[in-house]
Amino acid sequence: MDANLPILPNHPRVVIIGGGFAGLAMAKKLRKQQFQVVLLDRNNYYTFQPLLYQVATGGLEPDSIAYPLRKIFQGNPNLSFRMAEVLHIKPEQKVVETSIGDISYDHLVVATGSQTNFFSFADQEEHMMGLKSVPEALNLRSFILQNFEKATVSLSTQTQDSLINIAIVGGGPTGVELAGALAEMKRFVFPKDYPDLDMERMRIVLLEATPKLLGGMSEQASARALKDLKTLGVEVELNAKVSYYDGSILITEDGFRLPTETLIWAAGVKGQFPSGISKDKIVGGNRIQVDAFNRVSDHEGVYVLGDAAAMITPETPRGYPMMAPVAIQQGQQLAANLIRNQKGQSWKPFKYLDKGTMATIGRNRAVVNFLGQTFHGIVAWLMWMFVHIMYLVGFRNKVATLMGWVYNYLTYDRALRLIIRPFARSKSTKKYHEV
């Protein structure tokens, strides 16, 4: 039992499931405190998810946005990492079942994040591409490039169109940023790589089910993003709800049709977590309801952070938005409360500090909401770059990412157009429990 973990007397064991934004923020804050921190993740690396789209579009290598979890905590003897799949939680016994054995805990933190929410199209999931992990980003990159290679040898114009057209469902930051990156590839990269193809026929279509893009941002930011995308040649369809997709034809409820082999689903996420949490604690979006201290009621010593948590309050009837800043702040706050608990001090409830939102649309194009103001153009683009560089983990990753951006900017090119491993669509295996 306990996966060969060291025994640290007088150090309460805090088991954190998930090495994402929330889990990493909490582990960092506790690493020099009188706790034994055990971090569990199915991967041995942390992923900076906001830049996954750049891996998918050949702008960055995956190791520019991923960082070894063990390296982050070198020299911290009270912190242990185990690469494992968490199978089940036993709150009564204070034990988690994992692929490497059972692990006991004093405090259990579920920070497992979210997964793509296909809503009513879950049965068509095998035809669609998600973008929530490094493997998915690499799969998408390979799939797009493979389709272009197929198009060059196809004698059918109809087949070529289906292979080179790309549809993106979801007008949030991921969808907008991905559409902008692909539009720049259509303009600067694909015509040089594939001179045999008529790139004027390539269509990049962004579909949003609501009347505006970037629903969480200001009207001004939304309007500017729409204008910039159209300038780049992206077809934006608002109030467009997908009704059918079979892997080659996309149809919306209002009759819009697009032949495409590539549909990227960026229309929403839902919480994911291991089984063992009482079903009556699960609320909308497949999230676990928590109190103002991220505690799960009737589950002693169990806490949930980030996308998997729904902190229901009069001010947040649906919980806080599923965003990285919320996850980071919750992880830091829970760590601070556990430290207060050891000192016999009162806990402080969580209050989210909204520092602003941003999205980039392409070269010299971005929108930023900050301190009640909306910025756009090159100023917003530079702000976006600075913030993302600062939040990357590891000096090497910061330098590599910056150098990659400088290269792309100066050359109008994306150098990483490599099909390292060919990808074939198949239905994904669900790893976590869903109610």
Angstrom distance (rounded) from CA 209 to CA 267: 9
Could you tell me what percent of the chain has a pLDDT over 70? 97
Give the CA distances from residue 83 to residues 41, 43, 49, 368, in Å, rounded to whole numbers and listed in that order.
Answer: 5, 6, 19, 37
Could you tell me what percent of the chain has a pLDDT over 90? 80
Give the CA distances from residue 363 to residues 266, 277, 288, in Å, rounded to whole numbers and listed in that order.
Answer: 21, 45, 39
Task: State the pLDDT at residue 183.
Answer: 96
Angstrom distance (rounded) from CA 302 to CA 15: 10
Using the predicted structure, report yes or no on whether residue 425 has a pLDDT greater than 80: no
What does DSSP say about strands 249-252 and 257-259: parallel, antiparallel, or unpaired?
antiparallel
Q: Do domains 2-116+270-342 and 119-267 have the same CATH topology?
A: yes
In this prediction, residue 432 has a pLDDT band, given cuts at 50, 70 and 90, of very low
Pick the CATH number of 2-116+270-342 from 3.40.50.10860, 3.20.20.70, 3.50.50.60, 3.40.50.2300: 3.50.50.60
Using the predicted structure, report yes or no on whether residue 434 has a pLDDT greater than 60: no
- CB count, 10 Å around CB of 270? 18
Which residue matches tokens 């579909």? 207
For the chain, give every domain's residue range: 2-116+270-342, 119-267
pLDDT in tens, 267-299: 989 999 999 999 999 998 999 999 999 999 999
Give the architecture-level CATH label for domain 119-267: 3-Layer(bba) Sandwich (3.50)
Using the predicted structure, report yes or no on whether residue 411 has a pLDDT greater than 90: no
Return the beta strands (E) in 291-382 as ranges. Answer: 302-304, 309-311, 357-362, 365-370, 373-376
pLDDT in tens, 235-270: 999 999 999 998 999 999 999 999 999 999 999 899
pLDDT in tens, 108-165: 999 999 999 888 787 778 889 999 999 999 999 999 999 999 999 999 999 999 999 9
Map residue 230 onto helix, strand or coil: helix
Instruction: Quickly list DSSP for 295-321.
Output: BPTTSTTEEE-GGGEEE--SS-TT-S-
pLDDT in tens, 378-399: 999 999 999 999 999 989 899 9
Angstrom distance (rounded) from CA 297 to CA 134: 34
